[in-house]
C-alpha cells in the first residue's frame, strides 16, 4: 500500500459509564451505555468503512463498548488493547497514531474524552458540511465518533493534516 493511499481514522468515545465504587479504570457501562454502544456500532457499519485495525483502551468501559459495537460490523478488525489510550494526552494520541503500520488504511481508536475530541479537532483542518460545527457544539458526548480523512503515511499525522468527513453522536 502506498503512503499516498487515502486513509481514515475513526475516533470513537466509549459509551455511557456507570459510577459504582470502583477505580475509574474499572468503571463498567451503564444500561444506557450498552444501548448506545450497539447504536454506535450500527452507525459505524453504515459508514461502510472496513477497519483494518482497532486500538481500544484497556479501561472496562471502552472494552465493553467495543465488545458490543463490533458485533454490528460486517467484519471484525484486528483489535489491540492499548494501555496508552487510557488518560492519553493529545500528544500521546498523535504519537500512538504515528506508530500505525502503513499497511493500515482505516484505523479505529476507542478511547476517552477529552482525548478523542481533542484529536478530532486537532487533525481536522476542514470539514464536510456542518460536521465541524456540530462536533464543536456537541462537545463529543459518550458513544460519539468522528471520521477524519487524510493522505500520506501515519508517521506524517499531525495538527491540521486531515479533513473531518463525518461526525455522529447518539442524539443526532
CA gap 169, 136 in Å, rounded: 12
Region 60-86: what's the mean pLDDT?
Answer: 97
The pLDDT value given to residue 23: 97
Specify the fold of 6-168: Rossmann fold (3.40.50)
The pLDDT value given to residue 2: 60
Query: Are 116 and 12 spatial neighbours (Cβ–Cβ below 8 Å)?
Result: yes
Beta strands in the chain (DSSP E): 6-13, 53-57, 78-82, 106-111, 124-127, 145-151, 162-168
Q: Where are the domains of the chain?
A: 6-168
The pLDDT value given to residue 151: 93
pTM of the predicted structure, to 2 decimals: 0.94
The pLDDT value given to residue 3: 61
Query: Are 144 and 113 spatial neighbours (Cβ–Cβ below 8 Å)?
Result: no
**pLDDT per residue as tens digits for the range 16-68:** 999 999 999 999 999 999 999 999 999 999 999 999 999 999 999 999 999 99
Query: Are 131 and 76 spatial neighbours (Cβ–Cβ below 8 Å)?
Result: no
**pLDDT per residue as tens digits for the range 144-168:** 999 999 999 999 999 999 999 999 9
CB-based burial, 151-169: b 16+ in 10 Å, e otherwise: ebbbeebeeebbbbbbbbb
The alpha helices in 4-79, defined as continuous H runs, are: 31-46, 60-69
Transcribe 84-101 into DSSP letters. Answer: GGTT--HHHHHHHHHTS-
Amino acid at each position: 500500500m502506498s503512503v499516498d493511499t487515502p486513509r481514515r481514522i475513526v475516533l470513537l468515545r466509549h459509551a455511557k459509564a456507570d459510577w459504582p465504587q470502583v477505580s475509574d479504570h474499572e468503571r463498567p457501562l451503564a444500561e444506557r451505555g450498552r444501548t448506545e454502544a450497539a447504536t454506535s456500532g450500527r452507525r459505524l457499519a453504515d459508514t461502510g468503512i472496513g477497519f483494518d485495525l482497532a486500538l481500544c483502551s484497556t479501561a472496562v468501559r471502552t472494552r465493553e463498548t467495543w465488545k458490543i459495537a463490533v458485533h454490528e460490523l460486517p467484519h471484525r478488525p484486528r483489535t489491540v488493547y492499548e494501555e496508552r489510550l487510557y488518560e492519553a494526552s493529545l500528544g500521546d494520541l498523535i504519537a500512538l497514531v504515528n506508530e500505525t503500520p502503513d499497511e493500515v488504511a482505516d484505523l479505529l481508536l476507542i478511547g476517552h474524552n477529552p482525548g478523542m475530541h481533542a484529536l478530532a479537532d486537532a487533525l481536522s483542518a476542514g470539514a464536510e458540511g456542518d460536521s465541524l460545527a456540530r462536533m464543536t457544539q456537541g462537545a463529543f458526548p459518550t458513544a460519539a465518533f468522528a471520521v477524519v480523512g487524510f493522505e500520506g503515511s501515519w508517521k506524517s499525522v499531525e495538527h491540521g493534516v486531515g479533513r473531518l468527513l463525518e461526525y455522529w453522536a447518539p442524539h443526532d
